[in-house]
């Protein structure tokens, strides 16, 4: 996959820290706070927001580095402490929301000795919350972008199936991410909702760009509705798994149910995009 980073330039990695907003009264135990560079932890002054802000530009740079090779390499490596923390935060925040989870709980679930170890990686709870969202959304942006990299100017059935499978593979590994996104969008905190919108807009923009160039049967004015429909079709199954289980009295997360849903999505997405369903079922 071609790199989006100019030759000779050093790729920029999305920081785990967030813009400074006083939403958490607990401060980090040290004056200097960590940033992750080249796989190692180094410190940066807490006031250097230009180096740590979560912006759309940084999200796109992060997404560009989350291609097939990068994600495969990560799966083969043992998870870092930071990834373990983000996995726990993703699950806990999805289950109970931002206000319903304490940093002490996350530190304990992640196997850390104390909260100080957690603050070594994330300055405060909001920074951790935004980092968990940004990690997942960055991967989703990269997956959607892959559908247009064939250079044909349109969507091919095989490419759509491949990208859809890669999306579902990631959601199988991170089943709490869709519910986390759903909770974040409904949060009453203006600061959190603002951060969520900033993080999700690149995903919407990328998806709308793909649909615009797809040449399907929809009018341009209908594409935003198609984008919203596809999002709910794919992500709603995971976000509402508990509700589905209560209604149908079957576990929608079981391997058999997940396989059925994958086959259904291949056919449904292909038809919505005006592609032959037979290819989507292959």
> pLDDT-based confidence at 215, cuts 50/70/90?
confident
Structure token digits, residue 85: 């923390």
Determine the Cα–Cα distance for residues 49 and 253; give it in Å rounded to an integer.
Answer: 40
pLDDT tens column, 240-279 = 999 999 999 999 999 999 999 999 999 999 999 988 643 4
Please give the full DSSP string across 6-35, using - where no structure is assigned. Answer: PTTPPPP---S---------PPPSSSEEEE
pLDDT tens column, 52-86 = 344 444 444 444 444 444 444 444 566 899 999 99
- Average pLDDT of the residues in 107-129: 93
Angle at 269 between CA 268 and CA 273, to 5 degrees: 120
Determine the Cα–Cα distance for residues 209 and 40; give it in Å rounded to an integer.
Answer: 35
To the question of domain 51-280 being in CATH 1.10.357.10, the answer is: yes
pLDDT tens column, 33-45 = 444 433 333 333 3
Q: Delimit the domains of the chain by residue range.
A: 51-280
Length of the chain in residues, anyone? 282
Structure token digits, residue 175: 């089943």
> pLDDT-based confidence at 145, cuts 50/70/90?
confident
Please give the full DSSP string across 102-150, using - where no structure is assigned. Answer: -HHHHHHHTT-SSHHHHHTT-SSHHHHHHHHHHHHHHHHHHHHHGGGTT
Reduce the DSSP state of residue 214 to 3 states and report it.
coil
> pLDDT-based confidence at 195, cuts 50/70/90?
confident
């Amino acid at each position: 996959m071609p790199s989006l980073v100019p030759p000779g330039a050093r790729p920029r990695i999305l920081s785990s820290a967030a813009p400074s907003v006083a939403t958490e009264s607990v401060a980090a135990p040290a004056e200097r706070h960590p940033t992750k560079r080249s796989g190692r932890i180094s410190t940066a002054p807490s006031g250097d927001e230009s180096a740590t802000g979560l912006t759309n530009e940084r999200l796109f740079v992060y997404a560009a580095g989350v291609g097939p090779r990068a994600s495969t390499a990560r799966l083969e490596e043992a998870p870092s402490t930071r990834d373990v923390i983000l996995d726990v935060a993703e699950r806990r925040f999805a289950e109970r929301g931002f206000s319903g989870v304490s940093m002490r709980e996350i530190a304990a679930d992640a196997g850390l000795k104390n909260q100080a170890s957690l603050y070594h990686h994330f300055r405060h709870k909001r920074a951790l919350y935004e980092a968990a969202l940004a990690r997942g959304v960055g991967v989703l942006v990269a997956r959607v972008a892959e559908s247009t990299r064939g250079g044909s100017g349109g969507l091919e059935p095989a490419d759509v199936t491949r990208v859809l499978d890669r999306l579902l593979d990631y959601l199988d590994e991170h089943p709490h991410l869709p519910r986390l996104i759903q909770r974040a969008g409904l949060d009453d905190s203006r600061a959190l909702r603002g951060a969520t919108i900033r993080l999700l807009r690149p995903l919407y923009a990328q998806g709308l760009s793909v649909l615009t160039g797809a040449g399907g049967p929809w009018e341009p004015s209908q594409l935003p509705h198609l984008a919203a429909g596809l999002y709910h079709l794919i992500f709603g199954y995971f976000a509402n798994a508990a509700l589905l289980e209560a209604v149908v009295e079957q576990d929608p997360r079981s391997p058999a149910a997940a396989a059925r849903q994958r086959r259904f999505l291949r056919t449904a997405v292909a038809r919505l995009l005006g592609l032959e369903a037979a290819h989507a079922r292959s």
